[in-house]
Structure 1
Amino acid sequence: MNVALAHHWLASYRGGEKVLEQIASLFPQSDIYTLVRNLQVHIPGLAGHPIHESPLNLLPYASRAHRHLLPLHPLAIKMLRVHDHVDALISSDASMIKGLSIPKNATHICYCHSPPRYLWELGAEYKRTSFAARFALDRVAPMLRRFDWEAAQRVTHFIANSQFVADRIRKYYDRDAEVIHPPVAVDDFCPTRERESFSLVISELVSYKRIDIAIKAFNELGQRLVVIGDGPERKKLETLAKPNIQFLGRQPFPVLKEHFETAAAFIFPGIEDFGITPVEAQAAGCPVVAYRAGGALETVLEGRTGVFFDTQNPESLMSTLEELRPETIAARDCRENAETFSAQIFRQRLAKSLAKFNLSVAPQAVSSDECEKPTWTTPIAIGSTSGAQ
C-alpha cells in the first residue's frame, strides 16, 4: 500500500518530531505533508523523504509565526492536497493537520499527541502570548473547534500517546483511541553515576508548567535547585527565587545529560499529556518527584522510580520532598522502567497496530537491535534532596 505521513508543522525538533522520525523509519519511501516548515531546523530522520508544505508556508516568517496565523490554518490544510494514489495516511498531530483531505476509501490513522490545547483547554494561556493570538481565539475559536472536531470524525483509527490523552480524545471527539507511548532515547543516558546534592527542573518556562511551585518550595526548604530552560516566565521566576536556585537557561544536550545523571531528584510539578523528561530522568537513574496527574501517572512507578505529591501547590511538594527516602529508589529500577519506553519498543508496537490495517513496515525498522546495557558494578548512592551534606 502507498503510505503518506503528515505532521502538524516542522518548525522545531522536539518530542513530536522525534515520534515522526520513528514513524518515517517504518515507511522510508513516504511523502510527508505539513502546514509549514522551517528549513533551518534539521530533523535527521526525515532525510530523503519528499516534504510538501501548505500555501501558508509562502507567507514571510510563517514557519516561526504559524501559531499566530490560526484563522488561516483550516484553509491552508484544505489547500494541501494529498496525492490521489495514496492508500493510507498516518498523521502525527497535536493541532489540526488531521483535517487533511485524502483520497476516497483511503485509511487515516492519527497518532494524537493531544487534541489542540489552545482550542479545548488552555485558550486563556495561549491568548497571553500575543495580541494576534488573543484576537484569533476571541473571534474564530468556535470555527476552529468545529473544523477540528469534524476532522476527528473522519479519522479511521486514533492512537494516543498516553491514556491521559486517550481520555481527552474521548471527551472532545467522542472517539476511542489505542494507547502507544512515544519513544524516548533511553540509551543516551548513563544511570550508574554518583548522585550530587541538588534537584533538577528541565522545562519550558511557561505558566502552565507550574515551575513556580518548585521555586516556592525550594525557597522554603533552602535546598539547591537547578532550573534548565527558558521562556516568558523566566524573569518572573528569577525574581521569585532565592540564591539556592540556579537558572541555566537553554542548554545543549551534553549539559542536560550531565544534570540528569547527577541530580538527586527530578522535579515535575506540571500536568503533561505524556512528559518525556521524567522518562529521561529515570533512564539516567534519577528518581522523579511529580504531581499526581497526567502522563506521569503512566511513566513513574510510585515508590520504585519516584514519588507523587497530591496537591498542586508548594506545601504539598515540600511535604513530599521532606518525606522522600532516596535509598528506597534504586537507579537500576529507574533505568529498567525507562527502557519500556525505548524507540525499538515504540516501533514494534506501532507496527503491530498498523498490521491490523494491512500496512506493512520496513522489516529492518522493527528488527531486534540489542543495545549495550549498563554495567552495575557498585550500588548507586542516590543521595539526598537536601543541600550540602
Structure 2
Amino acid sequence: MAGLIVHEWVEKTGGSEKVVDQFVHQFPDADVFVLWSNDPGRFGQNLRESWISRTPLRRSKVTALPFEIPTWRRIPERRSYEWILSSSHLFAHHARVPRQRDIPKFVYAHTPARYIWEPDLDERGRSAAARVISTAIKPLDRIRAQEARAIATNSEFTRARAKRTWHRDSVVIYPPVDVARITSTSVWAEALDEQERLLLESIQPGYLLGASRFVSYKRLDLVIAAGEASGRPVVIAGAGGLKGDIVRRGKEASVPVVVVESPRDRLLFALYQRAFGFVFPAVEDFGIMPVEAMAAGTPVIVGPVGGAKESVNAAQGGVVLRDYSSESLREAVIDLEHVDRRGLPARAGMFSNEAFRARIGDWIANGI
C-alpha cells in the first residue's frame, strides 16, 4: 500500500511547497492531492487536483474558503492507502478519504490558520465578516485536529500555538532548507552575469542585508534602522507592493540604502556572502532566509518573537534582539563580530533537506 500526501494549494514559490517537495522526494510512490495547482508539472504524474481547480474559485482564496472544508472530507479514492501525510496551514489537516476512514493521518502543521485563531498576526482575519466565520469554524477545526495520529510543527513557536488552539501537543521538525545548494559554491559572485557582477561591485562593503517580500509585517524599515544605528550601509532585496515606501525610506536614511528588486538566487546568495550581517526582524513561524544566510556564512540578527530565533540559537549563528530600539539594534550589530563565521555553514546543515527527510521518514515509520 502507498501513502497519500495532501497540501492546500500549490504556488511556484513558497516555503510550504518546499516541504511538499521533500515529502515527495522521501515518498516517491505516494499520491499527492491538492485543491489546485498554479505550478503545472510539479509533483509529476501522481498529482491530483480537486474539483475547485476547474472553477473560477481557484482565483480567489477568500471565495473558495467555504468550499474547502467539505472538499477535504471527500478526497476521491484512487487506491488503498497506508497513511495520509498532510501539509497544513489552513484546512488540509481535515483531509479524509471517505471509504478509508481508519487510515492513520500525520499532520505537518506550518501553523494553525492564523487568520482564524490569531487574527492580530494576519490582517485577513481582522474584518467583521472574517471574525464571524472564525467563531463558527474554530470548534470544528479543533475537533478535526484530534483525528491526527501525530502532529509535527515547524518550530517551538508553532508548537505552542498548536497546543493553545488545537489542544494538541506535537513534535518539532524544522522545515527543509537547501543548504547543500548554497554551500556548493564557495564564491557566488563568480557565478554572476556581467550586469549582476557590476551591481554587486557597486555596493559599499560591510553592509547589512534585509531580504523578503516587500510587505509591512516583514519590517524591512528596521533593517534600515539597524544600518542607521550602527553606521553601516544597507541593502534591501526582494519585491512587492511596498517598494515605493522602502525606496522613500532609504532616501531619507542617514546611511546609503540600495534596493535590489527580484534578485535571482545566485545574486541573493552572493549578497548573503558579502554582507556583514543579515537582519530579519519579522515575526515568522520559522523563517527560511535566516538559515540561508547562515549557510552562506553570514551571521543573523532576528527579532525577540517568533521561530527564527530558534534556528539562530541552535546554529550559534547570530544575535536575538531584546527589543527593536535603536540601542538594541546597534548592540546586536556589534555583537555579530563574535560569531564564528567559518563554522557557520556546517552548523546550518542541521536544517538541510537531507536532515528533514530523515526526520520525516522516522516520524512516519514510528507512528504507523
User: Which TM-score bucket, shorter chain as reference?
Assistant: 0.7 to 0.9
Percent of aligned pairs with the same amino acid: 28
Deviations along 1:132-153, one digit per CA (max 9) or x if unpaired, are x947514422233333222212
Shift of 1:17: 1.0
**1:142 to 1:56, Cα distance in 2 relative to 1, 3 A:** farther
Give the AA of the match of 1:334.
L
Residue 168 of structure 1 pairs with residue 161 of structure 2:
yes
Deviating more after overlay: 165-174 vs 9-18:
9-18
Corresponding residue to 2:306 among 294, 302, 315 = 294
Contact 1:35 / 1:97 at 8 angstroms: preserved in 2?
A: no
Residue 197 of structure 1 pairs with residue 193 of structure 2:
no
**1:334 to 1:82, Cα distance in 2 relative to 1, 3 A:** farther
Specify the SS of the correspondent of 1:48.
helix
Query: Counterparts of 1:105-184 in structure 2 under 5 Å?
Result: 105-122=102-119, 125-127=122-124, 134=127, 137-184=130-177
**1:31 to 1:65, Cα distance in 2 relative to 1, 3 A:** same
Corresponding residue to 1:337 among 342, 347, 352 = 347
**1:338 to 1:34, Cα distance in 2 relative to 1, 3 A:** same
**1:304 to 1:89, Cα distance in 2 relative to 1, 3 A:** closer
**1:251 to 1:64, Cα distance in 2 relative to 1, 3 A:** farther
Distance (whole Å) between structure 1 residues aligned to residue 111 and residue 77 of structure 2: 23
**1:315 to 1:241, Cα distance in 2 relative to 1, 3 A:** farther
**1:151 to 1:232, Cα distance in 2 relative to 1, 3 A:** farther
Contact 2:212 / 2:238 at 8 angstroms: preserved in 1?
A: yes
Corresponding residue to 1:93 among 71, 88, 97 = 88
Specify the SS of the correspondent of 1:332.
coil
Shift of 1:158: 0.2
Specify the SS of the correspondent of 1:92.
strand
Contact 1:305 / 1:334 at 8 angstroms: preserved in 2?
A: yes
Counterpart in the other structure of 2:199: none
Specify the SS of the correspondent of 2:355.
helix
Counterpart in the other structure of 1:75: 70
Distance (whole Å) between structure 2 residues aligned to residue 241 and residue 220 of structure 1: 14
Shift of 1:86: 2.0
Counterpart in the other structure of 2:27: 27
Residue 4 of structure 1 pairs with residue 7 of structure 2:
no
Residue 56 of structure 1 pairs with residue 52 of structure 2:
yes
Specify the SS of the correspondent of 2:61.
helix
Counterpart in the other structure of 2:323: 311
Shift of 1:127: 3.2
**1:82 to 1:145, Cα distance in 2 relative to 1, 3 A:** farther
Contact 2:11 / 2:17 at 8 angstroms: preserved in 1?
A: no
Give the AA of the match of 1:112.
A
Query: Counterparts of 1:347-362 in structure 2 under 5 Å?
Result: 347-358=357-368
Give the AA of the match of 2:5.
L
Specify the SS of the correspondent of 1:278.
helix
Shift of 1:192: 5.1
Distance (whole Å) between structure 1 residues aligned to residue 221 and residue 145 of structure 2: 35
Distance (whole Å) between structure 2 residues aligned to residue 124 and residue 178 of structure 1: 23
**1:117 to 1:312, Cα distance in 2 relative to 1, 3 A:** farther
Larger relative contact order (CA 8 Å, sep ≥ 6): 1
Runs of 4+ in 1 over 6 A off after TM superposition: none
Shift of 1:155: 1.3
Give the AA of the match of 1:108.
K
Counterpart in the other structure of 2:198: none
Specify the SS of the correspondent of 1:52.
strand
Shift of 1:280: 0.6
Deviating more after overlay: 15-24 vs 137-146:
137-146
Deviating more after overlay: 23-32 vs 204-213:
204-213
Contact 2:162 / 2:168 at 8 angstroms: preserved in 1?
A: yes
Give the AA of the match of 1:5.
I
**1:153 to 1:21, Cα distance in 2 relative to 1, 3 A:** same
TM-score by length of 2: 0.86
**Which structure 2 segments of 5+ residues have no match?**
190-203
Shift of 1:274: 1.0
Distance (whole Å) between structure 2 residues aligned to residue 124 and residue 307 of structure 1: 23
Distance (whole Å) between structure 1 residues aligned to residue 226 and residue 318 of structure 2: 18
Residue 248 of structure 1 pairs with residue 260 of structure 2:
yes
Shift of 1:356: 1.3
Shift of 1:30: 1.3
Counterpart in the other structure of 2:223: 214
Distance (whole Å) between structure 2 residues aligned to residue 247 and residue 113 of structure 1: 30
Contact 2:315 / 2:347 at 8 angstroms: preserved in 1?
A: no
Distance (whole Å) between structure 1 residues aligned to residue 77 and residue 180 of structure 2: 36
Deviating more after overlay: 13-22 vs 236-245:
236-245
Give the AA of the match of 2:175.
P
Residue 324 of structure 1 pairs with residue 335 of structure 2:
yes
Task: Give the number of equivalent residue pairs.
Answer: 347
Counterpart in the other structure of 1:369: none
Specify the SS of the correspondent of 2:90.
coil
Residue 265 of structure 1 pairs with residue 274 of structure 2:
no
**1:304 to 1:192, Cα distance in 2 relative to 1, 3 A:** farther
Contact 2:209 / 2:275 at 8 angstroms: preserved in 1?
A: yes
Specify the SS of the correspondent of 1:182.
coil
Counterpart in the other structure of 1:36: 36
Contact 1:111 / 1:158 at 8 angstroms: preserved in 2?
A: yes
